[in-house]
Amino acid sequence: MASDGDALARWSEGRTGRALLASIAGLEPHRFRFALLDGTSTNTLLWQVPEAAHRWMEGAGSVSDATIFATASEFVNSYAHGLESEWRGFDDILADAQNSLTEIALDISRRTGLRWWTESISVQHQFAYLRRGRSGAHTTENALVKAEGPVLDGSTWWVSPAGVLVSSRGPVLGFPCVIAAAPDDHWMKDKRDSLWAVEVSGRATVFEIHGKEDWAQLVAAYPRNGQGFLTFDWGPPPSQGTNLLLPDRRRAALDWDAVHVSFAGYLAASYEPIPVDESHYTVLAGWHPDATYWLTGQARAVNQVHG
């Protein structure tokens, strides 16, 4: 698994990361689309990205960490079934301006208040939303078995196991936890959900995802056929004849108690095809940034808190 430091340089190069950085710079994909319809050339659009990045960098000193996180949270909320497809059509333009976008990423990486984006799980500061929550709630083997059903029958598009304990760090920048601010849109909080503090065992082992290579490594170690899994148009095979693999959560649970995708890991790897080997690929979709999905009972809800 990659180190936290390596993730600093990599999250800006993911398709999701590039789209977020363009959004932070004030760019919007629908404006690109309208510009093309009005006859603006692609070459002209190519210059708009570095210009916007330069303007943002000039005023970066007046942009707070909270403002950046608010923009990132709004982006995540609407990415899977909105911004993703819009920005994907212009990813070649964003990739050509990678150096300019990376300058913004480097500014973010230097901010003490956002350093946690690239960090591994903060085991002492975990919180989870529970529906019909109770003290001691934890992931059971039955929950893992039940989570396999929708994947096997082809009725879901998210790789995260539904029905298990899922936690994230908190508090962060005015929010009780990261999921409270930046949930991936495969899940929406409602009035039935209550926030609980989570206690993690000192024996817990966590597989860390900071980039594409980490997710591919997890899938390669615990592969399961992904036939029937819904990938829509963001997860086509990277080349003809390659087959989809997903992680086998029950097998992974024999070696690991949880899988944590850092905020940077989400930006580096989500919503695009990831090669596993010459004949297989995988996807990371439907996973909250900074979320830890617990595969065993080594983490438990201990008390309800406000949030």
In the prediction, which pLDDT does 180 show?
A: 95
**Which pLDDT does position 36 carry in this prediction?**
79
Mean pLDDT of 9-21: 91
Average pLDDT over residues 284-291: 96
pLDDT band for 3, please (50, 70, 90 cuts).
very low
The pTM is what? 0.93
pLDDT for 155: 63
- What's the pLDDT at 2? 47
Which has the higher per-residue pLDDT, 151 or 63? Answer: 63
Mean pLDDT of 104-116: 94
pLDDT tens for 36-60 read 777 777 777 889 999 999 999 999 9
- Residues in the chain, how many? 307
Alpha carbon separation from 170 to 79, 189, 307 (Å, rounded):
22, 16, 11
Q: By percentage, how much of the chain surpasses pLDDT 90? A: 68
The rounded mean pLDDT for the chain is 90
pLDDT in tens, 132-171: 778 899 999 999 888 876 555 666 788 888 889 999 999 9
Separation of alpha carbons 183 and 93, rounded Å: 27
Q: Are 18 and 267 in contact (CB under 8 A)?
A: no
Distance CA 22, CA 31 (A): 12
Count of C-beta atoms within a 10 Å radius of residue 142: 9
> Which range, of 15-24, 80-89, 147-156, 222-231, averages the lowest pLDDT?
147-156
In this prediction, residue 131 has a pLDDT band, given cuts at 50, 70 and 90, of confident
Over residues 161-176, the pLDDT tens digits come to 888 999 999 999 999 9
Question: Exposure string (b/e) for 277-305, b if CB count within 10 Å is 16 or more?
Answer: eeebbbbbbbbbbbbbbbbbbbbbbeeee
Identify the H or E element spanning 59. Answer: none
pLDDT tier for residue 8 given thresholds of 50, 70 and 90: low
Average pLDDT over residues 226-253: 87
% of the chain exceeding 70 in pLDDT: 94
- C-alpha–C-alpha distance, residues 234 and 237, integer Å: 10
Question: How far is the CA of 223 from the CAs of 200, 216, 272, 282, in angstroms?
Answer: 27, 10, 18, 10
- Indicate the pLDDT class of residue 35, thresholds 50, 70 and 90: confident
CA distance 72 to 80: 13
